[in-house]
Structure 1
Amino acid sequence: MTTLYLFGSAAPPVFEVASVIEEAQGRGWDVCLGLTPSAARWLENDVPALERLTGHPVRSEYKLPGQPDVWPKADVILLAPATFNTINQWALGLTSTFVVGVVAEGIGKRIPTVTMPCVNAAYVQHPQFDTSVATLRGAGVTVLYGPGGFEPNQPGERRPEGYPWHLALDAVARRTA
């Protein structure tokens, strides 16, 4: 069975994570859910149900030295939704959060990794964002951004078709084929 580390940042699509987990499990994947600290705060009331759904603890913090790892090793990682902050921290190697630390280390471990940003058109005007996307792509990360991936919307606007989770899960399937 393929073990998927599903990581999410604090963007509105993170509220859909239970259905994404169910879809991933329907594809035969064992899912371990990790959240940025803000996303964990957003989903605080849902964590017990998400742990029952995955059969694993939901993690948002590093374990203490000497503590055993409570998850199986990852075969593939999906970080979605990935906020402006998360993408930039990752590309710059700023690993102060569990999620960013795992995906940064995943590059060096050569774990197939997919990410799909969830950023608005104002954020992507900042020059660091395109640099960060290019850095991650150059490191072997599949970044679903632009045509065929996530395309930014205007600040405060959501697309009627919603966040394209299916593109992210299909990319994970391709990376593990």
Structure 2
Amino acid sequence: MSEQAGSTGRPFLYVVVCAAGVASGVGELITAARRRGWEVGVFATPVAMGGFFDTADAEARAGRPIRSAWRRPGEPRPFPAPDAVVVAPATFNTVNKWAAGLADTLAVATLCEACGLGVPVGVLPCVSDALASHPAYRASLDRLRGMGVRFGDPYGGVAGADGGPRFDWEQALDLVEPH
């Protein structure tokens, strides 16, 4: 990991949050990233900002405001350039727009830009089996993999062994850290 201009000199991670029910647990990802030595900046899709996760908690854990809206011309960038980006949870909509280069939200534009800059990107999809079988989604995964994007195990709402939902937040970090 390279050292960017984070306030502590630690590597900087962008976390992109999409509108899926499991987004309520994104605080686990932020905490795990900070424990592993990352500074964190959170981007969220506009729909995700509408109650899919506790934004105040995410901001407190990251130590920075969440970005969802475009900044105005002349406003400074609130985060340094990323050393890596994770998308968790990644929805059907975001994956397809990203692969097509449809940067109509700050979150998707950030993903498009990260790929163009060669920044490591790890993704934890959260897509139902029905949507995952859609030909457009499969083609989007192939296109993004061809761009160097790394994907973790998909989550389709299946319960874990304990009966509760299973979403492996730390797997997102494993995808972008050097082995």
> Residues 11-160 of structure 1 correspond to what in structure 2 (within 5 A)?
11-43=20-52, 46-144=54-152, 149-153=153-157, 158-159=159-160, 160=164
Distance in 1 between residues matched to 2:63 and 2:23, nearest whole Å:
19
Query: Does the Cα contact within 8 Å between 2:96 and 2:136 map onto a contact in 1?
Result: yes
Shift of residue 47, structure 1, vs aligned partner: 2.3
Question: Which structure's residues are more often helix, by fraction?
Answer: 1
Deviation of the 1:48 alpha carbon:
2.9
Which of the numbers 162, 168, 175 marks the counterpart of 1:164?
168
- Return the alpha-carbon distance in structure 2 between the equivalents of residues 132 and 140 of structure 1: 13
SS of the residue aligned with 1:20?
A: helix
The residue type paired with residue 135 of structure 1 is R
Identity of aligned residues (%): 35
Give the secondary-structure state (helix, strand or coil) at the position aligned to 2:70: coil
Give the TM-score normalised by the residue count of structure 1: 0.88
Please state how far the C-alpha of 1:107 moved relative to its aligned partner. 0.9
User: Number of aligned pairs?
Assistant: 167
> What CA distance in whole angstroms lies between the structure 1 residues aligned with 2:34 and 2:111?
21
Aligned 8 A contact 1:115 1:168 in 2: yes
The Cα RMSD (Å) is: 1.6
8 Å CA contact 1:8–1:81 kept in 2: the answer is yes
Preserved CA contact (<8 Å) 1:136 1:143: no
Task: Give the secondary-structure state (helix, strand or coil) at the position aligned to 1:66.
Answer: coil
Contact 2:45–2:106 under 8 Å retained in 1: yes
Q: State the one-letter code of the partner of 2:23.
A: V
Unaligned runs of 5+ in 2: 1-9
d(CA) in 2 for partners of 1:118, 1:61: 23
Structure-2 change in CA distance of 1:21 and 1:151 (3 Å): closer
Q: Is the 8 A contact 2:97 2:103 kept in 1?
A: yes
The TM-score normalised by the length of structure 2 is 0.87
